[in-house]
Amino acid sequence: MLDLKALRRDPEVFRASHASRGGDPGDIDAVIALDERRREAIGRMETLRADRRQMSKQIGQAKDADTREALKAQVAAFKGELQSLEELSRTLEAETQAAVAALPNLVADDVPRGTTEDDNVVIATHGERPTFDFEPKPHWALGTDLGQIDFERGVKLSGSRFYVLRDDIARLQRAVIFYLLDLHTRRGGYRELYLPFVVRGETLFASGQLPKFADNLYRDHEEDLWLVPTAEVPITNFHGDEILEGDALPLRYCAYTPCFRREKMSAGKDVRGIKRGHQFDKVEMYAFVRPEDSEAELEKMRADAEAACAGLGLPYRVKALCTADLGFGARKTYDLEVWSAGCGEWLEVSSVSNVWDFQARRAKIRYRAEAGGKPELVHTLNGSGLGIPRAMIAILENNQQADGTIRVPEALRPFMGGVEVIGG
């Protein structure tokens, strides 16, 4: 959520930022107009409340019944007005909150301008794309031929966009998860969390998914709990409504969770294979930092995500997302894409974002810069490290051999119980 005060003080900055994302700058003016009405109503309400409080005190102190009754009559005289002002204030407050909560984060100055995702900028490419003396197959063919990716049974159990992994490919997925958690806890200094996979609506509001993206979420109406679309959601609210001590920062966490997304919007897109399912696994990195440290932390987190790609032996490239492609809560984002030889495309395996104080304000995550000081909002950052299915696709496709077997990358062998070749 944006800072309403800052928005009031400096509307032009927010208009420009909003417009650069393809939004209507008028949205900003609408919020400001609403906020003005809100403050005006609150001002009048507070004056009346102050009067009432004064008189109520006098009633309590009044010696005789006559004085008391006279004062009561005075209060009663403006009671109706006060009530309608309270009603109005409440309505305007809610409307203002909703309007502000619907605005995306402010764009960082160094984000490339753009109007479509084609304006994202590739800023680095690493690793060698594998070459083959045969025609490399896409992972769905490899997996099906090995009998280790079972699309039919996934559909039988749960419908389209669900699949079953079996045997060594199932194990390979587990190995990737183990490898990534070990990497981030040891190398990156992230503390591992095991989190609930279902959360309350408030938690989703705190991280920015609600109310805007409700239709991409699975929900249990019975208990009013929601399945997490990413570990970012529970980690954000992990420190929700807390005041952290300054010397505790930075706080870095990583977590493995499955992610559940209805993906209603993109029906028909990427239907082949395991690239885009309703359920997928991900290891997430997350950091709570002092505001002055968030830009450096973004680079660190990007390096941590890169280390994951490199460690798995995957060729990858880094993209700076342009203003038009930036996510709702992000101020600046790097996407990491790995090369996948079978389907011949770059696959997004990580998105690393500096969220600034956007989630911290929603989730009320603050810290004291120094003991006894005023609490201030922290900055939060999140990054995939990595999205598992896409990483799996690249591993399977890049390490395939002519006979349809798959070499297990060196880094994963410790977790594969001696298996060096899948299907061998």
Partner RNA sequence: GGAGGGGUGGCCGAGUGGUCGAAGGCGCUUGACUCGAAAUCAAGUGAGUGGCAACGCUCCGUGGGUUCGAAUCCCACCCCCUCCGCCA
Which residues are the active-site residues? 261, 276, 348, 351, 390
Instruction: Pick the binder of RNA from 6, 10, 33, 90 (CB under 7 A).
Output: 90
DSSP codes, 131-165: --SS-PPPHHHHHHHHT-EEHHHHHHHH-TT--EE
Could you tell me the two tokens for 201?
């609506």
Total binding residues toward RNA, as defined by CB under 7 A: 27
We find the least distance from the C-beta atom of residue 362 to RNA, in angstroms, to be 12
Decide whether 166 or 364 has the Cβ nearer to RNA: 364
Place of tokens 């997430």: 284
DSSP codes, 64-102: SHHHHHHHHHHHHHHHHHHHHHHHHHHHHHHHHHHHHHT
Cβ-based neighbours of 99, under 8 Å, separated by 6 or more: 27, 30, 31, 34
SS3 content of the chain, % helix, strand, coil (to 5): 45, 20, 35
Decide whether 45 or 394 has the Cβ nearer to RNA: 45
Instruction: Pick the binder of RNA from 60, 80, 159, 417 (CB under 7 A).
Output: 60
Separation CA 238–CA 52 (nearest Å): 41
- Give the residue ranges of DSSP H helices in 274-387: 294-311, 358-363
Separation CA 304–CA 54 (nearest Å): 60
Verify binding: residue 57, RNA, rule CB under 7 A.
yes
* Window 147-186: contact mask with RNA (x via CB under 7 A): ----------------------------------------
* Window 359-388: contact mask with RNA (x via CB under 7 A): -------x----xx-xx-------------
We find the least distance from the C-beta atom of residue 50 to RNA, in angstroms, to be 3
Torsion of CA 376, 226, 305, 253, to 10 degrees: 50
Verify binding: residue 42, RNA, rule CB under 7 A.
yes
- Within positions 267 to 326, which residues make up the interface with RNA, using CB under 7 A? none
Verify binding: residue 47, RNA, rule CB under 7 A.
yes
Verify binding: residue 79, RNA, rule CB under 7 A.
yes
Give the binding site for RNA (CB under 7 A): 4-5, 39, 42-43, 46-47, 49-50, 52-53, 55-57, 59-60, 72, 75-76, 79, 90, 243, 366, 371-372, 374-375
